[in-house]
Amino acid sequence: MGKKYILVNDMGTTGNKALLLDEKLNMVASVSKTYETYYPKPNWSTQKISEVNEVVIQCMKEMIDKSGIDPKEIAVISFSNQMMTMIPVDRDGNVLLDEVGIWCDMRQGEQADRLMNKLGGNDEYYKITGVGWQPELAPICKTMWYKDNVPEIYENTYKFLQYKELISYRLTGVMATEYGDMSMNGMMDCAKKELSKTIFDAAQIDMEKIPKIINSDDVIGTVTKEAANLFGVAEGTPVTLGSGDVICANIGAGVIKEGMGYTCIGSANWSAVFADKPSLDPRYKMNCNTMQPTGGYNLVMITAAGGIAQDWFKDGFYATDKENANQSEYEASIYDKMTRDTQNVAPGAEGLLFYPYLRGGGAPHFDINARGSFVGLDIAHTRGHMLRAIYEGVCFNMHWLYDLYEELGISIYGLDTIRAIGGGVLNDLWMQTYANVNSMKFSRLTSPQQSTALGAAIIGGVGVGIWEDYEEATNQIAIDKEFLPDQEASKVYQDLYKIYRETYEEIYPFYAKRSNFIAEHTK
């Protein structure tokens, strides 16, 4: 019986999706389940590893049952996971602390300050690591927190693992990590692609607690007999680690060589460009992820709020529509209604501007205090104007990010097209606005919401020889629709973009004042 299927666990922030894909990257079956995120203290964001593990087991078993295939037909198991989580395990792989901080856990402020002081500041840290996130998020600082606050856990830790690495160990009995996830952990010398002794010495963390680093597409091992019974897969099935979600999204978008880039409209909004060399200019602290599977680097800039702005507006300003319809009718029609409302408003929303920072931080301003703002509301504006301004504001913000790339000498506007992924790109009006605002062609991929899973599948498939290389594999990633800029609308947006940037400079001092006010009055 031929082995022709790839099993992927896409372990995101809110849950896991187990997917079965064939050698043409067609989806055969999938099962999704959520796990809980906890907020036990201010700045803490945690998940329980026992719950995550159980969700993965359930997803894999149900997905195989749903597909009706023989598990022996699965050629490889691969992974994508949320990045920057450190799980302490002992020599036998036992988890030493069940509830751990995930990527957005911000409790490590004291450790981050100490590390930055020892290194000579955040700029010096960035020049080594290429990690542009706030240092409080960095897993190197998470390991410092363990050492400071639960020293018995730190001392008994044999290795710190990511989600995918713990599940891979439970499948194969082998512990390892890979370059993609490690490049975001604030532990590596970005240019040399190796652990940085400078970082570990400054952090006073034992480098031996980091697993062996292998290639993302290396077969880490095969499924053991015990794991086969537990997870519902066949003994002997090869397992690859895959990579972090950002790396997998890059590959799943087919962005694997110079001259290619993509934009994602998820709840957050980000763009990435493939480059042969890292960009370690500290002015904008672009994240430089090691693209070990294909060589080169994934140069990323991200704004914390993108598609979430549309969802926020839907939930707040279309609530009466939901009340007046049954649930199934509402879910089927609401986005069409929102589009119709917006189509009746001309580009520029009659001078109404929206700044999409409903969640602070990220590019282009790197201001944790920044928040969403409407500027220019008047009595004639409808919710259609406001929604049009939201779509345009998200696009203006991305235009600003593209400008930062150009300032760092990384061409965006010279690309033939920007590939588009994420749930937001299913909205034709929004995609056309992207093209018009940026005077560029945007190409929506056929499966824009599955790019991380596709990337993980491609890594696994190349690892076991389903495809000879990444170019052969990504040639199967198709374009659904292309959006060319309308010259008349682009002229309107060129004029409004200048106002957009100038107006931000005038209002941004308010954000710090707002933050101080809230801190003073919510004690």
**Per-residue pLDDT tens digits for 68-101:** 999 999 999 999 999 999 999 999 999 999 999 9
Q: What is the pLDDT of residue 167?
A: 98
Nearest-Å Rg of the Cα atoms of the chain is 23
Where are any strands of DSSP class E within 129-268? 159-161, 177-178, 188-189, 194-195, 213-214, 219-222, 238-240, 243-244, 261-265
Whether 342 and 387 have beta carbons less than 8 Å apart is answered as: yes
Mean pLDDT of the chain: 93
Domain of residue 69, residue span: 5-241
Q: Are residues 223 and 342 in the same domain?
A: no
Q: Are residues 185 and 311 in the same domain?
A: no
Answer yes or no: is pLDDT of 292 > 80: no
Q: Which of 201, 217, 241 is the last residue of a domain?
A: 241
Q: Are residues 189 and 335 in the same domain?
A: no
Q: Are residues 224 and 331 in the same domain?
A: no
- In angstroms, the Cα distances linking 406 to 269, 403, 515 are 18, 5, 32
Answer yes or no: is pLDDT of 238 > 90: yes
Q: What is the pLDDT of residue 322?
A: 62
Cα dihedral 310, 316, 321, 327 sign: positive
Do the domain assignments include residue 262? no
SS (H, E, C) 287-335: EEEECCCCCCEEEEEEECCCHHHHHHHHHHHCHHHHHCCCHHHHHHHHH
Do the domain assignments include residue 392? yes
Q: Are residues 172 and 316 in the same domain?
A: no
Q: Are residues 331 and 234 in the same domain?
A: no
Mean pLDDT, range 238-258, rounded to an integer: 93
Answer yes or no: is pLDDT of 48 > 80: yes
Helix axes 327-343, 428-438, angle to 10 degrees: 30
Q: Which of 219, 241, 263 is the last residue of a domain?
A: 241
Do the domain assignments include residue 177? yes
CATH number at residue 349: 3.30.420.40
Q: Are residues 180 and 322 in the same domain?
A: no
Q: What is the pLDDT of residue 1?
A: 42
Q: What is the pLDDT of residue 293?
A: 78
Do the domain assignments include residue 471? no
Record the tokens describing residue 320, joined without a space.
Answer: 């009466």
pLDDT single digits (tens) 334-360: 888 999 999 999 999 999 999 999 887
Q: Are residues 389 and 509 in the same domain?
A: yes
Q: Are residues 175 and 321 in the same domain?
A: no
**Which residues, at least 6 apart from 100, have a Cβ–Cβ distance to it below 8 Å?**
46, 47, 49, 85, 86, 87, 88
Whether 128 and 190 have beta carbons less than 8 Å apart is answered as: yes
Integer Cα distance of 153 and 146 in angstroms: 7
Do the domain assignments include residue 58? yes
pLDDT single digits (tens) 465-488: 999 999 999 999 999 999 999 999
pLDDT above 90 coverage of the chain, percent: 78
237 — pLDDT class (breaks 50, 70, 90): very high
Helix (H, G, I), strand (E, B) or coil at 216: coil
Q: Are residues 207 and 109 in the same domain?
A: yes
Q: How many domains does the chain have?
A: 2
Answer yes or no: is pLDDT of 4 > 90: no
Integer Cα distance of 319 and 325 in angstroms: 10
Helix (H, G, I), strand (E, B) or coil at 164: helix
Phi, then psi, of 221 in degrees rounded to 5: 170, -170
Query: Higher pLDDT residue, 364 or 491?
Result: 491
Q: Are residues 72 and 180 in the same domain?
A: yes
Whether 288 and 299 have beta carbons less than 8 Å apart is answered as: yes
Whole-model pTM: value is 0.88
Integer Cα distance of 497 and 518 in angstroms: 31
Record the tokens describing residue 136, joined without a space.
Answer: 């409080």
Helix (H, G, I), strand (E, B) or coil at 175: coil
Do the domain assignments include residue 395? yes
pLDDT single digits (tens) 295-328: 889 899 888 788 889 999 999 999 776 666 666 6
Q: Which of 223, 241, 259 is the last residue of a domain?
A: 241
Q: Are residues 32 and 158 in the same domain?
A: yes
Mean pLDDT, range 47-58, rounded to an integer: 98
Maximum Cα–Cα distance across the chain? 69
Integer Cα distance of 233 and 168 in angstroms: 13
Helix (H, G, I), strand (E, B) or coil at 202: helix
**Cross-strand pairs, 89:** 95, 159
